[in-house]
Structure 1
Amino acid sequence: MTALGRAWNGARELTVELHRRTPDDPETVRALAYTELIGTPAVGDRVLLNTNALKAGLGTGGYAHVIALPDALPEDRTTPGHVVKARYTPMQTMVLAADEEASPHRDALATADDIGGMPVVTADLHSALPAILAGVHAGGPNLRVAYVMTDGGALPAWFSRTLDGLAPLLAGTVTTGQTFGGDLEATNVHTGLLAARHALRADVAIVTQGPGNLGTGTTWGFSGTSTGEAVNATAALGGRPVGALRLSDADARDRHLGISHHSLTAYGRVALAPADLVLPGELPKDLEDRVREQLPALGRHRVVRVASEGLDAALRALPVGLSTMGRGLDADHAYFLTSAAAGRYAAGLATGGEAR
């Protein structure tokens, strides 16, 4: 390892000189180390890398990932928890679940069975998280907001620089399923929502997958089907599901224009419980026309319109940049505005009314 780069919660960028196996191999690569798993790297350390994502040219995961520092192994971790995440892989890690016996939240969660009507905003992509959060705080600046991270994308919460930048605005992060590295750990989305409500004392929760998502371009072949499952979990626990639609007039792919087929499948087919699906009060005419044609596929849900005044300013005031599929706020304004509108609507529910 020849140089240290940026650092944020749980992660460190490195520059690594490769032992090249073919003339096509680069001389150096950018790598990412999760310090909680492999220890603290130093210049000169040998590193063992996984380069699959880098070679595949993945836009989100395009790092080489550090598997180990062979000459500087970390101390054995001592954790009171017995829950294993990234199970049965070489990187599996032990965590303390929020509802385990050794957890300080055990008493609050041992008998918890509902979330008391808490609004829960569900979304397909991690890029919606900051926009939803901006909308919540635009509608209720003092509301406590928890992020519940599902395992359709990145498994370590540490991978997300966006999440690191949003930390001061969040009551905390709960990592669920195979994800790990949040302020609290949970076994599944149900216990994640219970932890958000009863341990983090959230007024509103946001549920999305971590950075990156898997999609094959088919009706069912994408990791965001978990959005519909989160709606069902919210309803089962007595919460109020609020759907942030994946909506765009900038995506070059027809299946994502207007309401993305991801949202049409997740809400229209996977979500069996009704949710409030939020749209901004005004959309560009061509986009509005396409959306109106698509709405019948979401028939079991209630579509609500929320005024968008002030939301653009709230989005621009965020402490993190906005980007979805490489497009920023101005390039895909409708996407981020729709997510912010869902956040504003949830804030209205949490404060005793409905934002319109």
Structure 2
Amino acid sequence: MKRGDKLIGIKVGKVLEILKCNINSTEILVEINNHNYKAINYNRLTGDVKIGDSLLLNTTAVDLNLGTGGYHFVVSNLDSPNKDITNGGHIMKLRYSPYQIKVFAAEEQGSIFHDIFNKFKSLNGMPVIIGTLHSMLPPIIKVLKTYNKNIKIAYIMTDGAALPIDLSNTIKDLKEKKLIASTITIGNAFGGDLDCVNIYNGLIAAKEIIKCDIAVVTMGPGIVGTGTKFGFSGIEQGNIIDATNDLGGIPIAVPRISFADIRKRHRGISHHTLTVLSKISKTRAVVGIPNFEESKKEYINLQIDNTEIQKKHKILYMDTTKTTEILENSTINMRTMGRDFQNDKDFFITAGLAGELGIKILNDPQLEILK
């Protein structure tokens, strides 16, 4: 990078059409220099928009042809630029950037929950399912709720990918169907039912404020990867495993497994998972592996033996019959890297098994399954 290089694409566009609208976000069609583009307006950040409004737009990702779904993002409504902030909250996210926002963090001094964090003792063996992709969330939740419709689930979204939770159509769908009880956004992610500063307080909030039976942690939509050993945002899974153990929970690490991905580094158990479990996490996680057919089993067993992750972690080989049946009959939208359930069953079944494993642990007070 040279001095003076521009890091952000900014253009002015006019609203042509309102495509979708809900309380927190609006999808619109905008015209820029006689070309039409889709854009997203976060209503809580930039207010309402209407047809004819002139908007300042961040066009960076589309300019670079990145996989963002082809959306620009509204920075400001030039026809209504002045917005008053609501009272309360002093914790800044996206700090010291032009886009910094304030949230009322659950743990800050003015919060009614402040003392809960200081009095916290332990998660008392609460299972915490830890994924690396947002697309792991639907199969995990579907399996959990099928086994126990009354189970109370907290979803914790990290800042490893999308920062606004309002971007996630998956979360909208799961909340509308009442499949997750509450959401928590941590780090620089924002917009959950609760905001917390980091994963430790996010887990404490899930246990002590939401009073959940089980927590599921993943990043939001998107993931950063560079094709290097440590250069991917899913590396956070290792730190979350350790945080869960630090607080007295039981971490269930969701392995990223696929035989549909054409990239060799993601074949079988992804190098992301192998790196996290062998190099990053310093403490033990429970890992469910599907009982695949012989050729896939041999491939995965060789990966496990080569990395020796079985020496650090509890690897459980699981029958997939029930989870497969649940997911095959599900109406929840499941897609990962452009592939649906039928085109990447191994990925979604592996994620669903983490939900089944969470149920088994909840139903096993003596934790015989982990011995």
TM-score in same-fold range (> 0.5): yes
Q: Distance in 2 between matches of 1:162 and 1:318?
A: 14
Comparing 185-194 and 317-326, the one that deviates more: 317-326
Comparing 69-78 and 34-43, the one that deviates more: 69-78
Asked if 1:14 corresponds to 2:28, the answer is yes
Give the alignment partner of residue 198 of structure 1, picking from 185, 208, 217: 208
Asked if 1:30 corresponds to 2:14, the answer is no
8 Å contact kept, 1:38–1:74: no
Q: Secondary structure at the match of 2:30?
A: strand
> 1:277-356 counterparts in 2 under 5 A?
277-280=287-290, 282-296=291-305, 297=307, 298=309, 299-318=311-330, 320-352=332-364
> Offset of 1:138 from its aligned partner?
2.9
Q: 2:262 matched to which residue of 1? A: 252
Give the alignment partner of residue 66 of structure 1, picking from 53, 74, 84: 74
> Offset of 1:317 from its aligned partner?
5.0
Q: Distance in 2 between matches of 1:102 and 1:322?
A: 40
8 Å contact kept, 2:154–2:183: yes
Q: Distance in 2 between matches of 1:204 and 1:99?
A: 20
Q: Distance in 2 between matches of 1:9 and 1:347?
A: 34
Asked if 1:139 corresponds to 2:147, the answer is yes
Q: Secondary structure at the match of 1:114?
A: coil
8 Å contact kept, 1:175–1:192: yes
8 Å contact kept, 2:23–2:43: no
8 Å contact kept, 1:173–1:184: yes
Comparing 189-198 and 110-119, the one that deviates more: 110-119
Whichever residue aligns with residue 290 of structure 1, its letter is: Y
Q: 1:189 matched to which residue of 2? A: 199
Whichever residue aligns with residue 282 of structure 2, its letter is: L
Q: 1:124 matched to which residue of 2? A: 132
Asked if 1:3 corresponds to 2:17, the answer is yes
Q: 1:23 matched to which residue of 2? A: none
Whichever residue aligns with residue 211 of structure 2, its letter is: R
Q: 1:219 matched to which residue of 2? A: 229
Q: 1:233 matched to which residue of 2? A: 243
| CA deviations over 1:201-248 (Å, ceiling 9, x no partner) | 111111111110100001011000001111000000000011110000
Evaluate the alpha carbon distance shift between residue 317 and residue 171 of structure 1 in structure 2; reply closer, same or farther with a 3 A threshold: farther
Q: Secondary structure at the match of 1:175?
A: strand
Comparing 165-174 and 2-11, the one that deviates more: 2-11
What's the % identity of the aligned pairs? 36
Q: Distance in 1 between matches of 2:94 and 2:104?
A: 14
8 Å contact kept, 1:166–1:319: no
Evaluate the alpha carbon distance shift between residue 339 and residue 35 of structure 1 in structure 2; reply closer, same or farther with a 3 A threshold: same
> Offset of 1:60 from its aligned partner?
3.4
Divergent runs of 4+, >6 A: none
How many matched pairs?
A: 349
* Bigger relative contact order (CA 8 A; separation at least 6): 1
Q: Distance in 2 between matches of 1:7 and 1:284?
A: 45
Whichever residue aligns with residue 112 of structure 1, its letter is: F
> Offset of 1:333 from its aligned partner?
0.2
8 Å contact kept, 2:46–2:77: yes
Q: Distance in 1 between matches of 2:138 and 2:190?
A: 20
Asked if 1:148 corresponds to 2:161, the answer is no
> Offset of 1:176 from its aligned partner?
0.3
Q: Secondary structure at the match of 1:15?
A: strand
8 Å contact kept, 2:157–2:185: yes
Q: Distance in 2 between matches of 1:314 and 1:60?
A: 30
Evaluate the alpha carbon distance shift between residue 74 and residue 330 of structure 1 in structure 2; reply closer, same or farther with a 3 A threshold: farther
| CA deviations over 1:100-135 (Å, ceiling 9, x no partner) | 233332343332142121101111111101111122
